[in-house]
Copies of this chain bind each other. A is one copy, B any other.
Amino acid sequence: MADTSFLDPGQLAAYFALMEVSSLLQHAVDQQLREDGGLSYIQFQILATLGETPDEPQRMTDVADRLVHSRSGLTYQVTQMAKAGLLTRAPSSDDERSTMVSATPKGQEVLAQVFPGHVELVRQVLLAPLTRADMDALSDILGRVRAHMRADPPRSAAPRRRSAHDR
């Protein structure tokens, strides 16, 4: 069995590169969204999620699950965004406990206003130095990691851990 106490240089390099690139990218993306539309990245994600289905409002819980928020955290963001006129809340007709959220025309406007700069930034910061083969390899490798993360949360490494949702 492999020594489990250390990562060899190649493993460390992959880990550090990922952490540093994502940190820089996150930072850059956050600034762009803030400047071009006054949005945080999470607000952008929420808006983008709602913008995909302009006709179909989505449940709070579904949005929260998708974006790994605590419920109260999502309530906070949605409250801010509703104040800003980017989305609206309405009680569900199916289940009166549920709140359905949908992007307003203004929300879609802001999304459209922010999007070109966002795409441009991603292109310049992340994609510019990559070949098509690099991008494919990156999606493939990280896609596998993502599938693994979703399927198999690291219980044995953090046995005391419980997510906000399983109590």
Contact = CB atoms under 8 A, between A and B. Distances in A.
Interface of A: 4-7, 10-11, 13-15, 17-28, 31-32, 35, 68, 116-117, 119-130, 132, 134-139, 141-149, 153-154, 156-158, 160-161
Contacts of A149: 21, 24-25, 28, 125
B161 A24 contact: no
Nearest to A119: B7
Contact of A22 (B22, B125, B156): B22
Interface of A: prevailing SS: helix
A127 B138 CA distance: 14
Contacts of A27: 68
B5 A154 contact: no
A44 to B, nearest CB: 11
